[in-house]
């Protein structure tokens, strides 16, 4: 039983070792270095992507913090604007109340002056009518016409009497 596949042939053994070493040398020269270069390039690309992701994360956190600060500042500004608006509205309301009070007081004073003026006119009218009535009565009592001088004297006396009665 001599099977040629299981028998050791030193020539085949040497040629197999030589072929293997040539193949390893060729692979080392043409395949292993480019493969290592590709792997190194991929490792660098992955490291760069991780660094970029870390930077993006840091930027995002910074932007979020900035956004929170801006939002807080906007809230403070909005509250200040609301407070100023309320103060202005209160001040305007007070000014309007004061103006309305002043206008009402002015209208009341004007009405009082008009009432006093009308009262004075009415009293003067009543005095004139009283004098005219007195003159008419005196004329009938005396059965004669009263002269202008008598009329004026009678008017003055009546006015004096009315003033003394009034005071």
> Residue 144: its pLDDT value, please?
60
> Residue 93: its pLDDT value, please?
92
For residue range 62-87, list pLDDT tens digits in order.
999 999 999 999 999 999 999 999 99
Instruction: Write the DSSP symbol of residue 147.
Output: P
> How far apart, in whole angstroms, are the C-alpha atoms of residue 128 and residue 156?
11
> Residue 3: its pLDDT value, please?
72
Q: What is the mean pLDDT of residues 120-141?
A: 76
Cβ-contact 146, 137 below 8 angstroms:
no
Cβ-contact 154, 130 below 8 angstroms:
no
């Amino acid at each position: 039983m001599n099977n040629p596949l299981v028998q050791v042939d030193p020539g085949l053994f040497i040629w197999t070792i030589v072929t293997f070493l040539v193949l390893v040398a060729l692979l080392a020269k043409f395949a292993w270095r480019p493969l290592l270069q590709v792997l190194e390039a991929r490792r660098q690309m992955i490291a760069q992507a991780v660094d970029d992701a870390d930077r993006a994360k840091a930027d995002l956190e910074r932007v979020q913090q900035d956004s929170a600060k801006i939002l807080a500042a906007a809230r403070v500004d909005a509250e200040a604007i609301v407070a100023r608006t309320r103060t202005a509205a209160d001040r305007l309301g007070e000014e309007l109340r004061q103006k309305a009070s002043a206008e009402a007081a002015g209208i009341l004073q004007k009405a009082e002056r008009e009432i006093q003026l009308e009262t004075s006119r009415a009293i003067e009218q009543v005095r004139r009518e009283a004098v005219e009535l007195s003159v008419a009565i005196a004329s009938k009592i005396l059965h004669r016409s009263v002269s202008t001088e008598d009329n004026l004297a009678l008017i003055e006396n009546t006015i004096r009497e009315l003033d003394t009665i009034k005071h």
